[in-house]
Structure 1
Amino acid sequence: MEYIEDIRKYRDDDAEAVKETFTLGMSEHVPSTFMHLLKQPLTQMVLMCLFCALVTSSKSFLLPILAVTLFLAGARQFVIYMFNSYIDTSLRKDVGKISEVYLKQKDSGFWVADVDGRVVGMVGCLPKQDTPGCLELKRMSVRRSHRGMGIAKALCRTVADFTRDRGYAAVVLYTSVVQTDAQKLYEHMGYEKTREFVIPELVAKITNFTLFEYRLDLQRDGKND
């Protein structure tokens, strides 16, 4: 089913809906991030050492099982805490002040997908400071209830058209290893993966939380979409 409703520019009265859409979208990645953490060799080694040490010392399986269960519960709470911290930081940095960050700066924009008067999707773009000639696609999110309708594709095309109209050569974006649906979407829209890297934070290095950079080179004749 293709999306046939309105993709329009952000208005100030969209603020709460945009913040909610962003927060819900980011929170959805907690389970996949937790599973990614469990698959890491370091995590598995810690769990195995903890279990074996407690089995040896207690001569029982009950205590080791309880300890591993508590460890896993703590790890999941840690993932939740990290996502909540990221959400709070993002709200303070740009999501909570869209007009100031995206609408009052040159060659920047922010759009929402409006279905029956309700904001169900969003996307923004800004000039890429360290990559001249490129705009960066940011804050793409579509509510779960409205996925599979072509809304994300329409939002992607909106950013590509805006970028081309402003005379920029390409769109770049970043997504993470756990956002597999987003990776499929961007690749379907013609983006190519150009780089993989782990952000230089201790937690990210320990958990091998990889980010992917994608790039869409735009044709001046408008045939790439």
Structure 2
Amino acid sequence: MSDYKIRGYKDSDYEAVRELFSAGMNEYVPPVCVHVLKQPWVLFVLTCMFICLLVSSKSLILPVLAVTLALALGRQLLGYCWSMYIDHCLKEDLRDISKTYMQSKGSCFWVAEADEIVIGTVAAKPSEEKQEELVLKRMSVRKDFRGLGIGKALSREVLSFARQNQYRSVILNTLMVQHEAQKMYESVGFKKYIEFVLPTVYGKLINFTVSKYRHDILPGS
């Protein structure tokens, strides 16, 4: 593997950053589908559908086809909802990255680059809920470059930025399917301090859990 470097975001990175974010988020569609399928009420509905159709039709083909169709439709619906979330992010802070992060006090956006190709990103901006708290956002590493410590290096870049700008802590959010990311954050000192179900109808319906992590910046560290 070629050496990589971490540097500040440039306007020429715009399309590469957005594409990397979209590709990374789309990887979570299958795990989310599996998570939804494991929910008790979903299994109950599918089981009832199968049994009712089996009893009424006295044929195995119809219930199997019906359950298969229900799973396919559910997969399409989840994929559509996920794509809407990605589109929402692209239209918010990732719409004008320079303005949001590079031109705002206490914020920054970094990219990891290898052979002049963007292979990773991370951003940081002040928390809207608590003073002297920095939020780590938009962490993403290209799939074929994972497991090489790039995510850890990007995380440490944010922690260094927090120290230099006198923040007392760095926080971040992870989803219930981001197991590898959670392990990576824990390996650089982040600790989970709260876990909650997204307070929306669909969040409660599919038990969409968000875990918040924090890394306290010790004085003089």
Tell whether the structures are fold-level matches, with TM greater than 0.5: yes
Residue number in structure 1 paired with 2:28: 29
- Whether 2:40 is the aligned partner of 1:41: answer yes
Supply the distance in 2 between the matched residues of 1:67 and 1:33 (Cα, whole angstroms): 22
Asked if the contact 1:112/1:123 (under 8 Å) is kept, the reply is: yes
- Whether 2:14 is the aligned partner of 1:15: answer yes
CA deviations on 1:130-149 (whole Å, 9 max, x unpaired) are 12221000000000011111
- Unpaired runs of 5+ in structure 1? none
Supply the distance in 1 between the matched residues of 2:45 and 2:96 (Cα, whole angstroms): 42
What displacement does 1:4 show? 4.5
Amino acid at match of 1:110: F
Supply the distance in 2 between the matched residues of 1:163 and 1:72 (Cα, whole angstroms): 45
Q: SS in structure 1 opposite 2:95?
A: helix
Give the TM-score, by structure 2 length.
Answer: 0.97
What displacement does 1:220 show? 2.8
Amino acid at match of 2:74: A
Q: How does 1:1-225 map to 2 (within 5 A)?
A: 4-222=3-221
CA deviations on 1:150-197 (whole Å, 9 max, x unpaired) are 110110000000011100011000000001000100111111101111
What displacement does 1:47 show? 0.5
Aligned identity (percent) is 47
Supply the distance in 1 between the matched residues of 2:141 and 2:4 (Cα, whole angstroms): 14
What displacement does 1:100 show? 1.3
Range with bigger deviation, 21-30 or 200-209: 200-209
RMSD between superposed Cα atoms in Å? 1.2
Asked if the contact 1:170/1:218 (under 8 Å) is kept, the reply is: yes
Q: SS in structure 2 opposite 1:120?
A: strand
CA deviations on 1:99-147 (whole Å, 9 max, x unpaired) are 1111111100000001010000000011011122210000000000111
Supply the distance in 1 between the matched residues of 2:52 and 2:132 (Cα, whole angstroms): 56
Supply the distance in 1 between the matched residues of 2:140 and 2:88 (Cα, whole angstroms): 17
Q: SS in structure 1 opposite 2:96?
A: helix
Amino acid at match of 1:168: Y
Asked if the contact 1:15/1:96 (under 8 Å) is kept, the reply is: no
Q: SS in structure 2 opposite 1:141?
A: strand
Q: SS in structure 2 opposite 1:190?
A: coil
Total equivalences in the alignment: 221
What displacement does 1:64 show? 0.4
Amino acid at match of 1:104: Q
Q: SS in structure 1 opposite 2:196?
A: strand
Supply the distance in 1 between the matched residues of 2:68 and 2:92 (Cα, whole angstroms): 36
Supply the distance in 2 between the matched residues of 1:47 and 1:131 (Cα, whole angstroms): 44
Asked if the contact 1:196/1:211 (under 8 Å) is kept, the reply is: yes
